[in-house]
Amino acid sequence: MDMGVMVRLLRPYVELSCEQLASTSTYIDLLLKWNARVNLTAVRDPEEIVTRHFGESFFVAGHLLRPGWRGSVIDVGSGAGFPGLPIAIWAPDAEVTLIESNGKKAAFLNEVIFALGLKNARVWNRRAEVFEGNADLVTMRAVEKFEAALEMATGLVKPGGRIGLMVGSSQVVFARRAEGFVWQEPILIPGGHSRVLLVGTRL
């Protein structure tokens, strides 16, 4: 994709460095190539992929992480890598674990990590229920069986840590019922798709 077009599409969400833009361009090329044979995303239009996946993920990264942040991140149900891999690009000092049980999707994630030379990201190719550990920040984007996934994801948050949910507005009420968290007001994600970032801090 033309770099100028990509910068224009990302402008409402984030401003990236030249190095981050180059990584994003390579990531997009790999996603388009793999998506032709592995169903990584239902979104097929390259420009919509930039805004829906990359723009929204970088927007969330910018809200959740300050420059130089060195904590740990777990991205639950990474799929095609959102928001976990953009977070790894945005915060090179963070340690990002992508939990993805689907073997083909995990293979794609590993190829992206290798192609981008991301030293701060790794893939856990098993179910999240058997993951041993926790993190300063846990992220989750629209997943199947949201209620069960939320219960499991909240259990991965360290005391004093945060969970960042990219969800539809209709899921906010349910998410805020999770016990042991103080929830912020939801932040509307640009793009007009009624998605929000909901952040909770574990007590």
**Of 61, 136, 56, residue with least CA distance to 91:** 61
Reported as a single tens digit per residue, the pLDDT across 38-69 is: 989 998 899 999 999 999 999 999 999 998 99
Provide CB contacts within 8 A for 88, sequence distance 6+.
73, 94, 96, 113, 118, 120, 121
Fold of 3-202: Rossmann fold (3.40.50)
Reported as a single tens digit per residue, the pLDDT across 138-192 is: 999 977 788 889 999 999 999 999 999 999 988 999 999 999 999 999 999 998 7
Spatial distance between the Cα atoms of 146 and 18, rounded to a whole number of angstroms: 36
Domain coordinates of the chain in residue numbers?
3-202
Spatial distance between the Cα atoms of 55 and 122, rounded to a whole number of angstroms: 22
